[in-house]
Amino acid sequence: MLTKCYCATNCQAPLPLITMQATTPEEFFVKDLMEQPPASPPVFPDLPQKPNGSSERQHHVPNAMTLHYISRMLMEDDDGDNKLTDHPMLLQVQQPFVQILRPLSFDANTDNREEPKDFLHEGHGGESGVSLPLSNGTYVVGASLECMEEANMSLPKDNNFTKYEQVNQIRESNVIGSRIKKRYNRDHLLEEEVRSTSKAMMMIKEPEEKCGNEMLDEMMLHAYETCIVKGMERVTMDNSGADKRNKKSGRIKSARSNMVDIGMLLISCAQAVGQGDHMRARELLKQIKQHASATGDSTQRLAHCFTKGLEARIGGKGSQIWQLLMLEHPSVVEFLKAYNLYTKACCFLNVTFIFSTITIMQAMGGKSRLHILDYGMRYGFQWAGLLRLLAIKEGGPPEVKFTAISRPKPADYPCEHIEKIGCRLMKCAHELGLPLFKFHAIMRNWEDISITDLHTDDDEVLVVSDLFSFSSLMEESIFFDAPSPRDTVLNNIKKMRPDVFIQSIFNRSYGSSFLSRFREMLSFYMPLFDMLDATIPRESKSRSVLEHVLLGHYFFNDISCEGMDLVERPEKYRQWQTRNQRAGLRQLPLKSSIVKAVEDEVTKHYHKDFMICQDGQWLLQGWKGLVLSAHTTWVAEDASS
């Protein structure tokens, strides 16, 4: 059966009738286009070119099936996943459209191998003036619409397209245009939202930084005597109310979690990870996540933090994610709220400051010059109370000099942070009435610091302070063919011959394997989280910052990283005692006056389950009988004092 061809030339040539029941729309569309001979070099040279015997170029009119196929491509483009973009058949379909638009889109010197690029503008002369780059699928749609417009202009008036088909064409064209417009509006709104958010963040950053600096000055000057912000979560000194509320609110969750030993699941998962059985580790991790919660009881919160590290270690992404985490910090205001809340709910830091302050005041005696060498100075809060006591010291305030030892380009805060601490300490000393105050910062590897860098005088009292910082030093398991940096620093301190070396450590072992380290972490952090649950309400935002950022980052590093990427390598207090004695240091007796002052502070202001005890010359702190931190003092072995 024959029918007539209605092409641009109206050639009346007989053509075979196409049976639609035997051909799919896609095959019809592709077959119709493949009959065109190439008029110019192919845009897609990698495609096989089919010879065509026809000498005349025919302009076929896209029908309803063509528009239906274009609509399908546009919908796929809207989903963001063009699975058909690189299909050879689809590339063959695109080629004639690209050739038609080529004189408009390409310069004469443009390489044919380059992918065509186009931009869709919303209207003409619009106010937005925004142009949106099109993907491959949308480019083909634009080409198809232009081709259809040219073909419609060249049609004879007596064509045999029915009104029904024309209506379908118009309807499909409107749908395509509507989808393009919706996509542009969506991207335009997203762009506006990002722009307004960035503007808002710039407006918030300056006053927030100013507020944070004011809070730092207040904390430094009054040494925790006042609350840093009005309306902050109040933590009562006995904390019995928070304990009861947390137990009541978590009764249902705890009853469900008690049926499953989350601690044993965590250890089993760590064991599977250590053995390289990642399939079993993932199965156990799924079970742990079902019982973990960021707002639940202490065990659920701890499991929530630990799962992040386990998941990263299983996926082999620990080091990369850790580098990104180090770029994320809470705002100054959020940090200070969490820090201040911790000091009011937990006695560990305040006991550390009291121990250090009384030790230095006793070492001063009748001396009038004090030099403090501080390893790892962070915010300098611990020195505010000391400066206050020195200002009212009998015989007049002494000359005070600080040397802050910080690492070059530290990961946790920028280098200029040390200089800001110095300015803040100088301001605090001036307001308290200390006329002679000096501050000096050394940015160098700690094992490279020697007595020659300190510019000490014979008549000054030299105090070396390590408040939980030496656990970040590398030790002999990393440097097999070189001296341990940890031992090197201790030997250098001995050569400095300080009047007193004050050491505070977290009582946790590094472990000889991943599984042993993981067990040590559980035994250390479980009582710490239990303490937070007994003293701080679960709905506290500052508690969330404390658990998931200030502590959570270290959880993540300890679990997911190995080797040089590990930040902390802690040792228990008996291990430190052996190491210090090997370096030539002698432990000083623990004075009863210090123990009495600390016990009175904890009994009067903190939860009844906090523990203060003594082991030899070590002052120990803990929770419910478990030792979490320890403090002691040292001098050179051959020192006369």
Predicted confidence (pLDDT) per residue in 9-49, tens digit: 444 444 444 444 444 544 444 444 444 445 545 444 444 45
pLDDT per residue as tens digits for the range 59-111: 444 455 555 555 555 554 444 444 445 556 666 666 666 565 554 444 444 44
Strands 585-587 and 399-406, by their bridges, are unpaired
Q: Which of 330, 317, 338 is nearest to 557 (CA)?
A: 317
pLDDT per residue as tens digits for the range 420-437: 888 989 999 999 999 899
First to last CA, the chain: 118
Question: Is this structure's pTM higher than 0.85?
Answer: no
Looking at the structure, tell me whether residues 498 and 597 fall in a common domain.
Answer: yes
pLDDT band at 116 (very low <50, low <70, confident <90, very high): very low
Q: Would you say residue 126 has pLDDT above 90?
A: no
The pLDDT assigned to 177 comes to 63
Looking at the structure, tell me whether residues 416 and 431 fall in a common domain.
Answer: yes
d(CA 61, CA 9): 13
For the chain, give percent helix, strand, coil, nearest 5: 55, 10, 35
What does the buried/exposed string (b/e) look like for 172-199 if buried means 16 or more CB atoms within 10 Å of the residue's CB? bbebbeebbeebbeeeeeeeeeeeeeee
User: Does the residue 335 lie in any domain?
Assistant: no
Looking at the structure, tell me whether residues 16 and 147 fall in a common domain.
Answer: yes
Looking at the structure, tell me whether residues 468 and 557 fall in a common domain.
Answer: no
CATH of the domain at 459: 3.40.50.150
Q: Would you say residue 474 has pLDDT above 50?
A: yes
Q: Please give the structure tokens belonging to residue 51.
A: 């010879």
Could you say which of 188, 207, 239 is where a domain stops? Answer: 188
Q: Would you say residue 522 has pLDDT above 50?
A: yes
Higher per-residue pLDDT: 68 or 627: 627
Looking at the structure, tell me whether residues 548 and 620 fall in a common domain.
Answer: no
DSSP 286-303: HHHHHH--SSS-HHHHHH
Looking at the structure, tell me whether residues 607 and 631 fall in a common domain.
Answer: yes
Q: Would you say residue 50 has pLDDT above 50?
A: no
pLDDT per residue as tens digits for the range 369-388: 999 999 988 778 889 889 99
Which domain range does residue 630 map to?
A: 345-510+569-636
Number of domains in the chain: 3
Backbone torsions φ then ψ of 483, nearest 5 degrees: -60, 145
| DSSP SS3 for 403 | strand
The structure tokens 């969750």 sit at 253
Looking at the structure, tell me whether residues 41 and 131 fall in a common domain.
Answer: yes
The pLDDT assigned to 515 comes to 94
Cα 185 to chain center, whole Å?
32
In DSSP terms, 4 is beta-bridged to 14
pLDDT per residue as tens digits for the range 582-609: 999 999 999 999 999 999 999 999 999 9
Task: Name the residue type at position 34.
Answer: M
Q: Would you say residue 196 has pLDDT above 50?
A: yes
Mean pLDDT, the chain, integer: 74
Looking at the structure, tell me whether residues 453 and 363 fall in a common domain.
Answer: yes
Q: Would you say residue 269 has pLDDT above 50?
A: yes
